[in-house]
Structure 1
Amino acid sequence: MRQITKELIQKYDIRLTKSLGQNFLVDDNIIDKIVNMADIDKNDIVIEVGPGIGNMTRRLAAKAGRLIAVEIDKHLIPPLEEVLKEFPNSSLINKDILKTSLEEVIREEKEKAPETEHVKIVANLPYYITTPIIMKFLEENPGIDTMVFMIQKEVAERIVASPGGKDYGALSVAVQYYSKPERLFDVSPHCFVPKPEVDSTVIRMKVFKEPAVKLINKDMFFTTVKASFGQRRKTLLNALSNSNKFAKSKEEIRQILIDLGIDENARGETLTINQFAQISNRFAQPTQN
């Protein structure tokens, strides 16, 4: 795969763009492992983000009912067209995934293959916009079942982190509100052309049909989470009262924490998603006169 990649780069005179985070995965074993972890069959619509020159795209298309490759770089469209010409079940979209309507794309693909039942996302994500892409999928979620991503190792550690650890933060809570993330395996920089400067990790996220907790106000929940982690060295009480995001005095916030059995001197990184939900639901309740 490494040699084929170099030949395609030379054939199409491709100039890799550092600003787009272009590092092509060329290790056949790793590609096979990623595809296998997505457990793809003909009942699936698969969206691949940033297919590059199609090293993984070909294998995804061979297994999926429908394959949609979304590539922002127009210079990579010709090699992708070459790769996908033998797969009539594939579509190639030259757009920025952050500006693309997932609902519209999936609806169009389901019209082409109404027998498909599931939607899966598989991608070697550009590391510089990993979080915005993941959160777009989770927040918009037009029926996504599973997502398998290769991302920067440090980001993967934050996504799967549990309460109490240094990696646990707002990103951990946000992802785990929408899904159950699982760390699968690490990938060496030597598996890419060109080699990235960081280690990579493959994660799988099983998307919940309903979020992990019931909320009165989702915006209030995420505001509470961000405020709790905004000043990590401060106690939970001080972090929440100093944020000025809640129409509550410090004493009112203290009483809410006492009522919920949450230590006011705890730090945000020790709270579970359920505890964040309890606090935010109390903040969202109308003030009693």
Structure 2
Amino acid sequence: MRKDIATPQYTKSILDKHKFTFKKSLGQNFLIDRNILDKIVATAGVGSDTGVIEIGPGIGSLTEQIAKKARKVTAFEIDQRLIPILKDTLSDYPHVKIIHQDVLEADLQEVIAQEFSGFDDLMVVANLPYYVTTPIILKLLTERLPIRGIVVMIQKEVANRMAAEPGTKDYGSLSIAVQYYAVAKSEVKVPKTVFVPQPNVDSSVISLTLREQPPVHVEDEDFFFEVVRSSFAQRRKTLLNNLQNNLFTKEQKLLIQEALNDTEIDGKRRGETLSIEEFARLSNALLKLKLC
């Protein structure tokens, strides 16, 4: 077996060998710390029966550590230049498959059916590019894939927002969108010094354990998320003003006030003070009155 990819020296030798140059537009930052990689794999609970979907494997540093534990790994890589490099670096792992495709354009249900038929334990594990973190995670969650969960390295500020609780500065529509589908927990803080090249910000490993059912009942999911987004449109404004300005008309102010009264929610509160349960009650009440 060759030495681990995730060392500064070996990473540099791979990059030099293939004359690889980083593309800022793809958010390429490769991990060079084996300890962090081990923590990611351990957090994901990857075992001999686990199938893993990886996104953005780079030169394969995380892929390699996942492959040492997992039954099978299928990784999506958007950069054509990395495909031959991955073929080289991961040649010792025949149970790793690289798909040259943008994961945002992939039919993940179909990929899972083809690549992981008969698997009872499936995880998404990745070091995600910062610039597409949110779209990728929301795709993974909203498509209701047959996965146990998601463990990803992302920008620390975004991880804080995803795991935030009501009443905190990080709590917002992203917190609710993620926590509707999963239990979010920020697991490991990661300094920018363990990447090549170094990003401008620190990172965090976040775990998202998928829920069997959402924590609240909503009559219309799309409308629920519209209410949530509208409530955070301007954080300094009150709940009543945000809903009036962004979801309803001034003429419908009485409808909003009636829904607030019915749910015993003070319209002078700000969106960040409402729990997901309160947002569910409010959206159901607003929908009922809107349809009347």
Normalised-by-shorter TM-score class: over 0.9
Shift of 1:245: 4.1
Match of residue 262 from structure 2: 259
Please identify, of 59-68 and 79-88, the stretch whose mean Cα deviation from structure 2 is larger. 79-88
SS at match of 1:79: helix
Supply the distance in 1 between the matched residues of 2:229 and 2:274 (Cα, whole angstroms): 13
Listed as ranges, the matches of 1:215-254 within 5 Å are 215-245=218-248, 249-254=252-257
The answer (yes or no) to whether the contact 2:255–2:290 under 8 Å persists in 1 is: no
Relative to the length of structure 1, the TM-score reads: 0.95
Structure 1 residue aligned with 2:123, among 120, 124, 129? 120
> Relative to 1, partners in 2 of residues 1:247 and 1:119: Cα closer, same or farther, differing over 3 Å?
farther
What amino acid does structure 1 have at the position aligned with 2:205?
Answer: V
Supply the distance in 2 between the matched residues of 1:250 and 1:84 (Cα, whole angstroms): 60
Supply the distance in 2 between the matched residues of 1:33 and 1:244 (Cα, whole angstroms): 43
The answer (yes or no) to whether the contact 1:53–1:80 under 8 Å persists in 2 is: yes
Shift of 1:285: 2.2
> Relative to 1, partners in 2 of residues 1:216 and 1:288: Cα closer, same or farther, differing over 3 Å?
closer
SS at match of 1:14: coil
> Relative to 1, partners in 2 of residues 1:246 and 1:53: Cα closer, same or farther, differing over 3 Å?
farther
Supply the distance in 1 between the matched residues of 2:102 and 2:8 (Cα, whole angstroms): 26
Match of residue 24 from structure 1: 30
Q: How many residue pairs get matched?
A: 286
Shift of 1:146: 1.3
The answer (yes or no) to whether the contact 1:12–1:79 under 8 Å persists in 2 is: yes
Match of residue 140 from structure 1: 143
Shift of 1:42: 2.2
1:78 aligns with 2:84: yes
Shift of 1:229: 0.2
Listed as ranges, the matches of 1:1-289 within 5 Å are 1-111=7-117, 114=118, 116-245=119-248, 249-285=252-288
Supply the distance in 2 between the matched residues of 1:84 and 1:157 (Cα, whole angstroms): 33
The answer (yes or no) to whether the contact 1:223–1:245 under 8 Å persists in 2 is: no
SS at match of 1:185: strand
Supply the distance in 2 between the matched residues of 1:101 and 1:55 (Cα, whole angstroms): 25
SS at match of 1:216: coil
What amino acid does structure 2 have at the position aligned with 1:251?
Answer: L
Shift of 1:62: 1.8
SS at match of 1:204: strand
Match of residue 3 from structure 2: none
Supply the distance in 1 between the matched residues of 2:269 and 2:234 (Cα, whole angstroms): 12
Q: Deviations over 1:41-85 (max 9, x none)?
A: 122110111110001111111211110111100111112112332
Supply the distance in 2 between the matched residues of 1:9 and 1:204 (Cα, whole angstroms): 30
What amino acid does structure 1 have at the position aligned with 2:101?
Answer: K
Supply the distance in 2 between the matched residues of 1:156 and 1:209 (Cα, whole angstroms): 22
Relative to the length of structure 2, the TM-score reads: 0.94
% same residue: 47
Structure 1: runs of 5+ lacking an equivalent: none
SS at match of 2:68: helix
> Relative to 1, partners in 2 of residues 1:221 and 1:288: Cα closer, same or farther, differing over 3 Å?
closer
Shift of 1:287: 5.2
Shift of 1:237: 1.1
SS at match of 1:144: coil
Structure 2: runs of 5+ lacking an equivalent: 1-6
